[in-house]
Amino acid sequence: MSKAAGSDKLSAMKKFTLLRTIGNGATGKLSDYLASETGLSRVRIKDAMSKGAIWVGKERGGMKRIRKATAALRGGMKIEFHYDEKLLALTPPQARCISDRKEYSVWYKPAGLMAQGTMYGDHCSLMRQAELFFESKREIFPVHRLDREASGLMLVAHTKKAASLLSGLFRNNLVIKKYSVEALGDFAESGPKGIIDLPLDGKISVTEYKVLSYDKATDISSVDVAIRTGRLHQIRRHFDMIGHPVLGDPKYGKGNKNKEGMKLTAYSLKFKCPVLKKEIEYDSPNK
């Protein structure tokens, strides 16, 4: 297959990964080279670069995203182009910075926004939006996660020390995380409040809940939840395991789907602030 035929085949694909190592003596722009290799227009190449789909590195060493369309080819350069037409076409919802402690910031993440990007891009992530918000003048470190489908509060660290301290708080279950949840069925049948301590992935997992209300007409309960352990999809899995799946959850439960999205919001984070050296609680502006 000729180079032209190969590039035409790639440009017709909705998703692909291109791996290349540049030989010595190469010249020209990286964007022009990728346009030639893939058959994509230079406009689409530049868009993919700006959205974090293109990575470069040396023959030995790690890879990093490169966003400048004027970046030059260099001998020995390793290139990874992770192209996903569907992802690159998305317009992400916008997060809001609700508090800036310099060493870290507190954000409200809307539903549909990823916490971190993927190899295929990061423009739909909170980390990238925080980087742009601070005009790339601060380092950005994730310290915990929140499901893409969920909304609510997230912390972003801006120094390695803050990242280590905050990550340690989450890892040692020293952060009290509170959520508002809408679940299918009459949750109060299990009691107006209680604890779900079913193990997840073979690990201790504790979810405390308090039923706020139940609408018989819609068969939906409003529940206040607090967790200290942070297992993957902990609330979603626990609620499904006891027969009251989270409304709108795309993965867990039956009969709980809707058109409005998942009804789970992280509305409060309480911990000992490593900057102020005292207990502090952040509440969601959408509480």
Note the pLDDT of residue 35: 96
Catalytic residue among 147, 186, 240, 283: 147
Quote the strand ranges of 171-251, DSSP E. 176-184, 193-196, 207-215, 220-227
Asked if 3-88 and 176-267 have one fold, the answer is no
User: Parallel, antiparallel, or unpaired for β 264-273 and 151-157?
Assistant: parallel
DSSP helix/strand/coil, 177: strand
Fold entry, domain 3-88: 3.10.290
Q: What is the pLDDT of residues 237-287, one digit of tens each?
A: 999 999 999 999 999 999 999 989 999 999 999 999 988 899 999 999 876
Confirm or reject CATH 3.40.50.10680 for domain 96-173, answering yes or no: no
Q: What class has domain 176-267?
A: alpha beta
- Per-residue pLDDT band at 149 (split at 50, 70, 90): very high
pTM recorded for the entire structure? 0.90
- Is 147 a catalytic site residue? yes
Domain ranges, ordered by start, for the chain: 3-88, 96-173, 176-267
Residue range 80-133, pLDDT digits in tens: 999 999 999 999 999 999 999 999 999 999 999 999 999 999 999 999 999 999
pLDDT, tens only, 1-53: 445 556 777 888 999 999 999 998 889 999 999 999 999 999 999 999 999 99
